[in-house]
A = this chain, B = another copy of it.
Amino acid sequence: MGSHRGNFLIAQGGGPTAVINASLAGAVLEGMSLLHPTASMWGARAGIQGFLDQDFIDLRATGADLWKAIGETPAAALKSCRRKITAEDIDSITTICREKDIRYFFYIGGNDSMDTANKVALAAKNRGHEMFVAGIPKTIDNDLAETDFCPGYGSCARFIAQSTLDLGMDIRSLPTPVSIMEVIGRNAGWTAAAAMLAREGKEGAPHLIYVPEIPLSKDKFLKDIQEVHKREGWVVAVVSEGVCDEKGESLSSSAGEVALDGFGHKLPGDVASALANLVIRELGLRARSEKPGLIARASSHHVSDVDRGAAEAVGRFAVQSAIQGNSGFMASIRRTDNNPLVLSYEMAPLEKVAEVERFLPREYLNKEKNHIAESFRSYVEPLIGPPLRRYPRLVGC
């Protein structure tokens, strides 16, 4: 250790999570301890965009204590970007790596970022530039392949489950009997599914969960709401922002609400708001919507210690493995025991991860496909950390 030549580069891509900076801090601290002290350590500001602009931050200029503090912040400390990488970009990246003598290249991100890391690893190899490239997983979507879970998911799951539980208490005590809560997660249903943890058995919120993997018709939705309302007298439904109808159209438009941009293109509507209005219009019930949006991934009050620990560990593991001479992998998580949870870390080939989306398996849906099967609990519960805050049954509700 300490004798490795070449410089270190790390970047963050895509949407942040509540623990993405734990991965960053873990990787940086590991690099500081393992790399030769003369090796430069850089962060690319704003992901690959910043890398292409050679907008580099000297990571050594920030001390270990401050890195530890940064590891406990929400948001992406290096700033993020959304850029669809072109073949030309990959060429430029390889050229910059050679010029800057970058030998260790880490990209923290989701599917697109893993695809970028994969392409960078291949291009470096093809052009004969020896560089050790690793992806570090993060996404609240939990949709990366080849890993038990994605750091960031457990904390977002915790926020969603606790908020559903708290909201359920409120709605149950109100004369407004229907609330539709929209949660982030565009293509995969893992985040919405986590709301099932709010329930104890078949009791309480959420009564309904809709994930983007299952098309939802207006009629089916209204029938579900009406049935629950008749049976229970109140309804909390959790709906993924990405839920679509049978034609693949967002339910916000099929519920009759469309906003257009300056070019006449449809703007992404708020699904929950449109569905609440549908309930008012078609069922004559008082209904409302909540949409915590990005607060679900930024709230430091709902960070899962398990999630944060795993986030830091994948960062450290990626750097250790790269310095040991490995390349073209994503640091991935294996669950070796579930009770209590024991995790181990391994390398998954980037080409098996890049651009693959791992959807919520159908076996986790209930028969009617409007809720989550109890079997999902043993997957998600260990990831959210300590038990949710629960309350006694209220005397009048």
Contact = CB atoms under 8 A, between A and B. Distances in A.
Contacts of A6: none
A273 B267 CA distance: 10
A83 B103 CA distance: 70
Nearest to A79: B396
A127 to B, nearest CB: 28
Contacts of A257: 257, 259
A181 to B, nearest CB: 8
Given A80-B174, A290-B291, A294-B171, A75 B394 contact: yes
A391 B45 CA distance: 19
A312 to B, nearest CB: 17
Identical chains bound together, number:
2
A74 B170 contact: yes
A298 interface: yes
A301 interface: yes
A257 B269 CA distance: 11
Interface stretch (A62-70, A141-149, A325-333, A363-371): A62-70
Contact of A295 (B46, B77, B273, B290): B290
A298 B174 contact: no
A368 to B, nearest CB: 27
A392 B21 CA distance: 12
Nearest to A290: B293
Given A77-B394, A166-B295, A262-B282, A277 B288 contact: no
Interface in A49-105: 49-50, 57, 59, 62, 66, 69-70, 72-82
A267 B277 contact: yes
Interface string A117-147: 0000000000000000000000000000000
A162 interface: yes
A298 B169 contact: yes
Contact of A77 (B70, B77, B395): B395
Contact of A395 (B57, B171, B261): B57
Contacts of A170: 16, 74-75, 294, 297-298
Interface of A: 15-16, 21, 43, 45-46, 49-50, 57, 59, 62, 66, 69-70, 72-82, 162-163, 166-167, 169-175, 179, 256-257, 259-262, 267, 269-270, 273-274, 277, 280-282, 284, 288-295, 297-302, 389, 391-392, 394-397
